Amino acid sequence: MTKNMPDIACQPYENPQGKLNWVGMSGIELPILVENEQRTPTQLSSQVQAYVSLDDPLSKGIHMSRLYVLLDQKGAEAPLSAQHVKGLLQAFIDSHEGLSNHAFVEFRFDYYERRRSLKSDNSGWKHYPTTLRGELKDGTFECEVSISVPYSSTCPCSAALSRQLIQEAFEQKFSGDQVDYQEVLAWLGTPEGICATPHSQRSYAQVKVKIAEDAPLSISALINQIEDAVQTPVQSTVKREDEQEFARLNASNLMFCEDAARRLQNKFSQQTEYLDFWIRVNHLESLHPHDAVAIVTKGIPGGYDDEPNFMDRLSVN
């Protein structure tokens, strides 16, 4: 016989009444499927948040177990995509008929991909913190992908100051003399010949894009677009020829944070598959104890805000 157990949620609610924007769960551990560079589904672990609105002021609360069960049943039945997320959100609302009209879900995961070395015949794993969010509100669906991509940035000002010191050292060494090609060539290969080097630092591009419901989700393509814009992605497996090429790329891609942000702005303004974008570049200065930051949005009406309140934007996740 089935035991008749009390259900507190169905009892009359006598406390202060009111609607609630969101009720649900965070920190849900869930395996998910994400398509890799070859568009093959790969299973990853994720941390999930799932919420619905509580629109009935007389109800004690939502049915949290229903959200969890739906995530468990549908979360990994297909690779993450905008359409898959929308279906999951609609199931959240349908399971709370009469209680909820809005739904939200967020998947946070680490995306790993093998990236080729610059010159040598090698490749290595790189890690990209990624978030996929979806919201269904009054029938309107929005889906957003966020990612953090590391790169190297070399300071143009420091490079110019270094070149000046090298010129002064050359003048001091060879002024008034008949310049011998072989002697100059040998001198340039010494510490005295290159007496100053510009400072560079590991930097991060934090990019958020809104994708259409029918748009494919390609994290690999998003990474390529970011790395193509900055031109100096950090490397995993590195031989001497790779390190030399990395040094060449940094010298030919000198950039302040403003330069990096404008490069990314130009790149993503040309990508028609994204409805909107928000970009923050962070140069973790080696000269200063603070970071240099630039932020840019697509600037469309009703799009991402551009107010200088960045406290909730310090992490792409």
Residue 256 domain flag: yes
Residue 44: φ, ψ to 5°: -130, 160
Position 248 in a domain: yes
Closest of 132, 115, 133 to residue 124, by C-alpha: 115
Instruction: Kindly tell me if the per-residue pLDDT of 302 is higher than 90.
Output: no
Among the residues of the chain, which ranges form H helices? 64-74, 82-94, 156-174, 181-188, 219-230, 240-252, 257-269
pTM for the whole thing?
0.89
Residue 125 belongs to domain spanning: 13-155+198-307
CATH number of the domain residue 132 falls in: 3.10.270.10
69 belongs to a structural domain: yes
Question: Residue written as tokens 């398509």?
Answer: 35
Establish if 314 belongs to a structural domain.
no
Do the domain assignments include residue 180? no
Helix, strand, or coil here: 108?
A: strand
Does residue 230 sit within a domain? yes
| Residue carrying the six token digits 């010949």 | 193
pLDDT above 90 for 90: yes
The pLDDT, as a whole number, for residue 314 is: 42
Distances 289 to 33, 162, 168, 280 between C-alpha atoms, Å: 40, 21, 29, 19
**What is the number of domains present in the chain?**
1
* Tens-digit pLDDT profile for residues 198-242: 999 999 999 999 999 998 899 999 999 999 999 999 999 999 999
Identity of the highest mean pLDDT range in 4-18, 192-206, 292-306: 192-206
Q: What is the pLDDT of residue 79?
A: 93
In a domain, 220, yes or no: yes
Contacts of 275 (CB under 8 A, 6+ apart): 209, 210, 211, 212
Q: Is 46 domain-assigned?
A: yes
pLDDT exceeds cutoff 70 at 291:
yes
